[in-house]
C-alpha cells in the first residue's frame, strides 16, 4: 500500500469526486456507504498505519471552515500549499548578508528587533520548551561582531547543538562549556590521567582528614554528605561556607551534629582547594572550579563586548557572579521550568526581562497540558504557553501492561522507577538503551548497590561500587524509611525479596541495544533541552501517591513539564494529565508545613 502523501491525496480526490458527482436516487452515496463499512478497530489500526507516513490531520476548526474545497465541492489540490504557508511559524525574514538569511517566528522576530535596538542593555529571556532557544541564540549572535562575542553552554553536547544553529564562521566566535571557561579563568591545565593514576579513596580521605562520622552516618557516608554540602556552597554567591548550605537530609541532624558536619565540610573544602586534581573524582568538579574562580575575583576578558548563555536555568549563581562582574553585556536564555529545584540563579530586577511563550515544536494539544502545570506551580513564571498550529503531537493513553514501541523514550520519575522499568522490559524480553554509556554504567551501579544493601550476602560491596544516591545510608532499613512512599521503590523491594541478584543485573546487560531498535530509559529531569519523536511518561512519574510537601510537588511538576514537552510526534500517558492535577488538588501533602 502506497502511503505517500501524494498517493493518499489522489484517493481523497476520488472520494470527494464520488460524493459530488453522484446523481439519482438509486446511486450509492459516499456518506451512507462510509457508515455501512465503518469499523472502529479498523479505524484505530488504520490511523496507526497512517502515522508512519508524512501526513497531517486538519484541526476541527479547519475542517469546519472547508477551505480545502473548490466552489464546486471538489478537493482543491493547491490547499496543501496554502495551508503549509499559512501555518508555518517561521514567516519573519532576517537578512544576515547579501547571500544569507534566517527565518524566525513572530515572537523570535520581536525579541531580535528589541535586542538590535538595545545592544548595550543586559537581557534575560524566559523561553518555554520548544520555542527554538538555540535558533534564537544563533539569531542574536548574528546581530553582533562574532570575534567580540562569547557564547557559553553547560556541556559539549549543548554547545555542539548550538553551533549547528549559528551561521557565522565558528572560527570567529568563541564558544565554551562551563568547564572550559572556568579552567581558562583559573589558568589551569587539565591533568592527564597517566600523571594522576591513583584514585584517592573517600574512606582514605576521611581517615586523612580525621572524619570519623556524624550521627548515624559512617565516615564514607559523611564524606558524601560533605560533598553535597560543598555542591550547594559552590552554586551560591556566598563567600563563606555555613550551615545555610546544609543539604536536605532524610533525617534531620541535631545542632551539635550539624556543627560537626560543617567542620568536616570545611576541612574537605580546604583539601580540595589544595589538591584540585582530586575534584575529578567527585560529582562537583565543575562547580568547584567555578567557585574557585568566583572567590578569586576572576573576570571575563575585556576583549568581549557580549556574553550569551544558553540554557541559563543551569547556570549556578557563582558563575553568574563572575559574568556580572565584567563590563560585557550579558544575555541569558533559559527555561526555569526545566530546573526543578528552587536554586535557579536570578538576574537583577534592572535587567530587561522578556518572555517567549510560543512553541514551534509543540501543538495546541500540548498547550492544553502545559498551562495547567504552569498555573499549579507555587513559585515560577505564570505567563501562558502557546502551542503552534503546525505542530502535530499525537497523545495516546496507554493501558496497563503496554509495551512501548521501538525508538520510544521512556521518561521515569527516579532511579527506582528506571530500575523497575528495566526489570519489566527484561521480563518481556524487550531490549532497551540509555542516552549515554555513563548513564548505563550508573544504573548498573545503582542496582548493584541496592542489592548489596538489601542483602549483603548476595553481594559484598566495596567503596568504588557505592552509588552516590545511597551516600546517606548504610543499611536497607534506612533506605526503606527514606523511600517508603515511592511506589517504584516498593515494587523494586518486592523483586529483591523474590531473589533479584547481581547475576540478574549481569543478564540484563545483554538486552542493551541501539536506541533506534529499543526503548530508551531516562529520568525526566535529565531530558531538559532534548527532543524525541516518541515519549512515554511512566505511572511512577505521574504518581497518585501523596507528595511530602509543596517543594516536592513543585519538583514533580517541573519533571512532568519537561517530559510532556519533549515529544515531536507521539506522547504516551497512563491517564489524562488534568485528572492527575485534580487528584493532587484534592489530597493533602504528607507534611502540612514546609520546613
Same domain as 132, residue 20: no
Same domain as 320, residue 177: yes
Residues 464-477, mean pLDDT to the nearest whole number: 81
The pLDDT value recorded for residue 26 is: 55
Residues 312-319, mean pLDDT to the nearest whole number: 94
Residue 197 lies in a domain: no
Characterise 14 by phi-psi region: left (phi > 0), alpha (psi -120 to 50), beta (else).
alpha
Residue 384 lies in a domain: no
Domain ranges, residue 253: 202-292
Same domain as 414, residue 271: no
Confidence of residue 198 (pLDDT cuts 50, 70, 90): very low
Confidence of residue 48 (pLDDT cuts 50, 70, 90): confident
Residue 72 has pLDDT above 60, yes or no: yes
User: Phi and psi (nearest 5°) for 505?
Assistant: -65, -45
Residues 430-440, mean pLDDT to the nearest whole number: 92
Which of 545, 522, 533 is closest to 572 using CA atoms? Answer: 533
Residue 16 has pLDDT above 90, yes or no: no
Residue 265 lies in a domain: yes
Same domain as 302, residue 288: no
Residue 380 lies in a domain: no
Same domain as 543, residue 511: yes
pLDDT mean across residues, the chain: 88
Higher pLDDT, 317 or 529: 317
Same domain as 479, residue 356: no
The total domain count for the chain is 4
Question: Concatenated DSSP letters for 233-288?
Answer: HHHSS-SS--GGGPPP-SSPPPHHHHHHHHHHHHHHHHHHHH-GGGGGGSS-HHHH
The pLDDT value recorded for residue 146 is: 87
Query: Among 52, 87, 122, which residue terminates a domain?
Result: 87
Task: Give the whole-angstrom CA distance, residue 388 versus residue 118.
Answer: 29
Residue 196 has pLDDT above 70, yes or no: no
Confidence of residue 150 (pLDDT cuts 50, 70, 90): very high
Residue 195 has pLDDT above 50, yes or no: no
Residues 461-487, mean pLDDT to the nearest whole number: 83
The pLDDT value recorded for residue 459 is: 59
Same domain as 535, residue 424: yes
Residues 135-148, mean pLDDT to the nearest whole number: 89
Residue 224 lies in a domain: yes
Same domain as 266, residue 356: no
Torsion of CA 102, 108, 110, 115, to 10 degrees: -80
DSSP summary character for residue 217: B
What whole-number percentage of the chain has pLDDT above 90? 53
CA 47 from chain centre, in angstroms, equals 30
Query: Among 310, 343, 362, which residue terminates a domain?
Result: 362
Q: Which of the given ranges, 99-103, 215-219, 224-228, has the highest pLDDT on average?
A: 224-228
The neighbouring-strand residues paired with 355 are: 126
Residue 447 and residue 505 in contact, taking contact as beta carbons nearer than 8 Å: yes
Residue 277 lies in a domain: yes
The pLDDT value recorded for residue 535 is: 97
Residue 513: Cβ within 10 Å count: 14
| Structure confidence by residue, pLDDT tens digits, 353-385 | 999 999 988 888 999 999 999 999 988 888 999
Same domain as 303, residue 287: no
Residue 496 has pLDDT above 50, yes or no: yes
Query: Cβ neighbours of residue 128 under 8 Å, at least 6 residues apart?
Result: 335, 337, 356, 357, 359, 370, 385, 565
Residue 377 lies in a domain: no
Which of 365, 590, 351, 561 is closest to 485 using CA atoms? Answer: 590
Residue 304: give its domain's CATH number: 3.40.50.300
The pLDDT value recorded for residue 194 is: 41
Confidence of residue 464 (pLDDT cuts 50, 70, 90): low
Query: Among 292, 310, 332, which residue terminates a domain?
Result: 292
The pLDDT value recorded for residue 283 is: 84
Confidence of residue 192 (pLDDT cuts 50, 70, 90): very low
Same domain as 581, residue 435: yes
Residue 292 has pLDDT above 60, yes or no: yes
Query: Cβ neighbours of residue 249 under 8 Å, at least 6 residues apart?
Result: 225, 472
Higher pLDDT, 160 or 259: 259
| Structure confidence by residue, pLDDT tens digits, 265-290 | 999 999 999 999 888 878 899 999 99
Query: Cβ neighbours of residue 288 under 8 Å, at least 6 residues apart?
Result: 230, 234, 272, 276, 279, 282
Residue 287 and residue 316 in contact, taking contact as beta carbons nearer than 8 Å: yes
The pLDDT value recorded for residue 595 is: 45
Residue 232 and residue 245 in contact, taking contact as beta carbons nearer than 8 Å: yes
Task: Give the whole-angstrom CA distance, residue 192 versus residue 575.
Answer: 51
Same domain as 555, residue 447: yes
Higher pLDDT, 47 or 326: 326
Confidence of residue 200 (pLDDT cuts 50, 70, 90): low
The pLDDT value recorded for residue 84 is: 84
Same domain as 248, residue 172: no
| Structure confidence by residue, pLDDT tens digits, 520-575 | 999 999 998 889 999 999 999 999 999 988 889 999 999 999 999 999 989 999 99
Residue 321 lies in a domain: yes
Amino acid at each position: 500500500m502506497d502511503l505517500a502523501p501524494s498517493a493518499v491525496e489522489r484517493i481523497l480526490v476520488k472520494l470527494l469526486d464520488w460524493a459530488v458527482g453522484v446523481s439519482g436516487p438509486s446511486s450509492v452515496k459516499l456518506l451512507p456507504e462510509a457508515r455501512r463499512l465503518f469499523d472502529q478497530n479498523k479505524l484505530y489500526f488504520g490511523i496507526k498505519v497512517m502515522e508512519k507516513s508524512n501526513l497531517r490531520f486538519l484541526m476541527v476548526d479547519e475542517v469546519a471552515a472547508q477551505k480545502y474545497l473548490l466552489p464546486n465541492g471538489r478537493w482543491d489540490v493547491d490547499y496543501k500549499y496554502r495551508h503549509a504557508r499559512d501555518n508555518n511559524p517561521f514567516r519573519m525574514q532576517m537578512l544576515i548578508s547579501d547571500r544569507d538569511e534566517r527565518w524566525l517566528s513572530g515572537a523570535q522576530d520581536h525579541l531580535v528587533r528589541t535586542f538590535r535596538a538595545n545592544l548595550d542593555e543586559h537581557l534575560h529571556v524566559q523561553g518555554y520548551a520548544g520555542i527554538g532557544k538555540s535558533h534564537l541564540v544563533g539569531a542574536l549572535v548574528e546581530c553582533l561582531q562574532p570575534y567580540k562575542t562569547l557564547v557559553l553552554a553547560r556541556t559539549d553536547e549543548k554547545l555542539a547543538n548550538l553551533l549547528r544553529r549559528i551561521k557565522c564562521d565558528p572560527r570567529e566566535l568563541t564558544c565554551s562549556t562551563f568547564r572550559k571557561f572556568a579552567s581558562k579563568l583559573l589558568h589551569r591545565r587539565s591533568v592527564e590521567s597517566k600523571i594522576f593514576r591513583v584514585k584517592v579513596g573517600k574512606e582514605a580521605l576521611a581517615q586523612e582528614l580525621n572524619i570519623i562520622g556524624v550521627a548515624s552516618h559512617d565516615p564514607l557516608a559523611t564524606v558524601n554528605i560533605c560533598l553535597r554540602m560543598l555542591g550547594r556552597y559552590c552554586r551560591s554567591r556566598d563567600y563563606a561556607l555555613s550551615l545555610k548550605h546544609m543539604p536536605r537530609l532524610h533525617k534531620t541532624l541535631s545542632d551539635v551534629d550539624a556543627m560537626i558536619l560543617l567542620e568536616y565540610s570545611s576541612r574537605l573544602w580546604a583539601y580540595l582547594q589544595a589538591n584540585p586534581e582530586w575534584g575529578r573524582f567527585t560529582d562537583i568538579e565543575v562547580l568547584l572550579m567555578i567557585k574557585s574562580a568566583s572567590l578569586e575575583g576572576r573576570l571575563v576578558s575585556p576583549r568581549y563586548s557580549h556574553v550569551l548563555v544558553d540554557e541559563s536555568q543551569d547556570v549556578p549563581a557563582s558563575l553568574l557572579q563572575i559574568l556580572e562582574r565584567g563590563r560585557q553585556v550579558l544575555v541569558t536564555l533559559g527555561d526555569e521550568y526545566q530546573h526543578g529545584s528552587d536554586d535557579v540563579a536570578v538576574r537583577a530586577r534592572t535587567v530587561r526581562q522578556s518572555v517567549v511563550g510560543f512553541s514551534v515544536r509543540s501543538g495546541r494539544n500540548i498547550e492544553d497540558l502545559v498551562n495547567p502545570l504552569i498555573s499549579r506551580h507555587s513559585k515560577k513564571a505564570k505567563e501562558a504557553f502557546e502551542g503552534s498550529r503546525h505542530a502535530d503531537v499525537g497523545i495516546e493513553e496507554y493501558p496497563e501492561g503496554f509495551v512501548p514501541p521501538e525508538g520510544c523514550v521512556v521518561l521515569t520519575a527516579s532511579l527506582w522507577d528506571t530500575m523497575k522499568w528495566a526489570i519489566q522490559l527484561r521480563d518481556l524480553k524487550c531490549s532497551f538503551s540509555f542516552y549515554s554509556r555513563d548513564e548505563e554504567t550508573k544504573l548498573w551501579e545503582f542496582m548493584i548497590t541496592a542489592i548489596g544493601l538489601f542483602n549483603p550476602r548476595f553481594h559484598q560491596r566495596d567503596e568504588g561500587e557505592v552509588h552516590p544516591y545511597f551516600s546517606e545510608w548504610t543499611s536497607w532499613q534506612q533506605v526503606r524509611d527514606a523511600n517508603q512512599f515511592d511506589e517504584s521503590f516498593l515494587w523494586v523491594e518486592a523483586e529483591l525479596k523474590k531473589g533479584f541478584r547481581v547475576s540478574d543485573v549481569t543478564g540484563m546487560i545483554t538486552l542493551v541495544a541501539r536506541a533506534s531498535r529499543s526503548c530508551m530509559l531516562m529520568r525526566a529531569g535529565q531530558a531538559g533541552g532534548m527532543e524525541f519523536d516518541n515519549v512515554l511518561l511512566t505511572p511512577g512519574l505521574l504518581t497518585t501517591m501523596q507528595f511530602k510537601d509543596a517543594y516536592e510537588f513543585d519538583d514533580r511538576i517541573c519533571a512532568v513539564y519537561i517530559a510532556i514537552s519533549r515529544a515531536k510526534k507521539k506522547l504516551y500517558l497512563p491517564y489524562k494529565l488534568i485528572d492527575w492535577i485534580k487528584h493532587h488538588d484534592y489530597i493533602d501533602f504528607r507534611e502540612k508545613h514546609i520546613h
